[in-house]
Chain A
Amino acid sequence: MSARRLRRRIVSGTMTALVAVLSFVAVLALVLILGYLVAKGASSLDWSFFVRNPVPAGQSGGGVANAIVGTVIIVGLAALIGLPIGIGTGLYLAEYGSGRLGWTVRFVADVLNGTPSIVVGIFAWTWLVKPMGHFSALAGSVALAVLMVPMIARTTEEMVRLVPHSLREAALALGYPRWRTSLRVVARTALAGILTGCLVGVARIAGETAPLLFTALGNLNFSTSILQPMQTLSLQIFTYGTGPFDEWHRLAWAAALVLMGLVLVLALAARWALRSRYGAAR
């Protein structure tokens, strides 16, 4: 074997090893982050953490019940607003999206997908907080819904397009009108995929903080009124994590663990929903 050939083989082997190591480093980053969350947060997860509200600064104990309930309400409301619009837009793009409007909507969805969430936050502020005169959970939900719609629309479109044309043709040949074909046959076939997109979208917005800073604002007390400021886990982590007290830091880690768990469950559920349907294709 010539020296030149040997050198080339060494380079090839080295670079192969290098990219493998880089992949390992990326996975290591994930392990380190999740590991620290569990190590620093798990010990604080007791009954009172889930059922009690925050206590005044400086005192120890207390929980984040208000933030957990707030997260569920704000994210749930955002899903209620965002999912129908997103799925409808996705269906439009898949069914009628070949024209100029389709092109425009697709382009706008991609633009909005890349828009910084903080910008969406100040947009929601001008629309809801400013006219109402005070911060509200509703404004937060609207901001999150705006972030959600383009994501849902694009994944729905993609999933609906995966449905074979033969299915539509069969339904139409049997005399089904197009709208029933679209809803009862096509959308139904793509249901698992659409559901996956929805779960991914909800998972993505559940951890958002920036658009909530001046919409939902945060609230030290327990509140279920969507017209009042409301606490979420993400806002709580921000306040407690950047605050000066050790007790706050402890609660921030625990809240981060809970939030991460919530997001992970949604992400894994999305993956599972997809696998059960397109397991072979993907």
Chain B
Amino acid sequence: MTTLPMERAAAPEPRWQVLRGANVGDRLYRGALTVLALTLPLLLVALVSELAINAWPAIRRFGLPFVWTSVWDPVAGVFGAAPMIFGTIASSFLALLLAVPLALGVAIYLSEFAPKWLRQPVSFLVELLAAIPSVVYGLWGIFVLIPFLRTYVVPPLRATLGWTPFLSGVFYGNSLLAGGVILAIMIVPYIAAVSREVLLAVPVSQREAALGMGATRWEAVWTAVVPYGQAGLMGAVILGLGRALGETMAVTMLIGNRHDIGLSVLQPAYTMAAAIANEFSEATTNLYLSALFEVGLILFVITVAVNALARLMIWRVARGTAVGSRAL
């Protein structure tokens, strides 16, 4: 199924486009479609300019230090986004740490080892994880994941690695750890689906050559298939990162929402998306609101950069396919 889009992309310009008639219906049709297609670029321009205009008072007031100041005091009118930027990055990397091995394992199994009858059902089930609404993940996290972490995960972690700064303090439940774990589950389907497509796009000759040289099946995968798709796999991981950075509801419900920078994963933290979700409707002053818009603008710029990077890397391997946009 992945070779198909590649052939399509490689096909020359369809000949029938030469038949560009002066038919009125044709022109109307093309005009109407063009107008509809222009909606998206205009929307993007409107979105960026609205964010920038509304964030402008805060940008002018706090300047660049907004990014590394950690005071967030709506009463005094002093705002700095450092704790949220830190929390966003920390929770996303924690999620990647857990999700990448899992998702790559799924992708390798499904593209290389699984028996044929198992491939479709399993990949469908894994992709169903992407269909679960964020708020449902949040609910499950509060009532199932946090009690599980408290009883079965945190005590043994403490017993073995409790001396590191990453596990200090009391675990109340809502924490960087809880947010990171739920994010990990949420991004696995994206990373797995794209990685699988990337691996399937690796030519069979790569595998045959390795096997022909006497490699075991795993060696063929690890030394011939995975390196070939490396850029695409990196792209898949970065795409997952982009998802994690902007994820809102589940994280808001689990991360604890505290304006603090700490190394301990057992402590509450905050993310940019969660701050907007929690504080936007209660922002009483214009400056407060503007600061939240600036947070939104920063979040937008980061996710756009991350997504653009991911797509460039995926395109290098599976050119022209809309991988990722179809993952469900």
Contacts and interface: CB of A to CB of B under 8 A. Distances in A.
- A and B pair up: yes
Interface of A: 8-9, 11-13, 15-16, 18-23, 25-27, 29-30, 32-33, 36-37, 40, 84-85, 88-89, 91-93, 95-98, 101-102, 104-105, 108-123, 125-127, 146, 149-151, 153-155, 157-158, 161-162, 165, 168-169, 172, 177-180, 182-183, 200, 203-204, 206-210, 213-214, 217, 234, 237-238, 241-242, 249, 252-253, 256, 259-260, 263-264, 267, 270-271, 281-282
B277 interface: yes
A127 B45 CA distance: 13
Nearest to A31: B125
A23 B19 CA distance: 51
Given A105-B37, A209-B134, A30 B219 contact: no
5 contacts: A36-B143, A114-B242, A217-B281, A263-B132, A271-B124
B248 A117 contact: yes
Contacts of A98: 13, 17
Contacts of B248: 116-118, 209-210
B133 A260 contact: yes
B120 to A, nearest CB: 9
B33 A92 contact: yes
A153 B15 CA distance: 24
Contacts of A11: 216, 218-219
B217 interface: yes
A19 B242 contact: no
B64 interface: no
A89 B36 contact: yes
Interface string B42-83: 011011001100100000000000000000000000000000
Given A112-B43, A146-B43, A264-B131, A40 B143 contact: yes
A98 B9 CA distance: 11
Contacts of A102: 37
A96 B296 contact: no
Nearest to A13: B218
A149 B39 contact: yes
Main secondary structure of the interface of B (DSSP, over half): helix
A46 B157 CA distance: 42
Interface stretch (B158-166, B227-235, B260-268, B301-309): B301-309
Given A178-B26, A281-B1, A122 B246 contact: no
Contact of A203 (B25, B124, B131, B299): B131
Contacts, number: 307
Contacts of A88: 32-33, 36-37
Given A19-B113, A155-B325, A182-B29, 15 more contacts: A19-B109, A19-B112, A21-B105, A23-B109, A26-B103, A26-B106, A26-B129, A29-B188, A102-B37, A122-B276, A162-B8, A177-B26, A210-B248, A241-B139, A263-B132
B291 interface: no
B40 interface: yes
A179 B29 contact: yes
B40 A114 contact: no
A116 B133 contact: no
A18 B19 contact: no
Nearest to A20: B109
A158 B320 CA distance: 10
B6 interface: no
Contacts of A125: 280
A245 to B, nearest CB: 14
A149 B40 CA distance: 8
Contacts of B25: 177, 179-180
Of the listed residues A15, A118, A157, A217, the one surrounded by the most CB atoms of chain B closer than 10 A to its CB is A118
Contacts of B322: 154-155, 157-158
B41 interface: yes
B167 interface: no
B97 interface: no
Contact of A210 (B14, B26, B249): B249
B116 interface: no
Contact of B136 (A13, A32, A117, A260): A260
B144 A32 contact: yes
Contacts of A153: 40
Q: Which 4 residue pairs across A and B have the least CB separation, nearest first? A: A207-B133, A116-B246, A22-B105, A88-B36
B142 to A, nearest CB: 6
Contacts of B152: none
Contacts of A37: 136, 140
B325 A116 contact: no
A263 B8 CA distance: 32
A84 B36 contact: yes
Contact of B219 (A8, A179, A183): A8
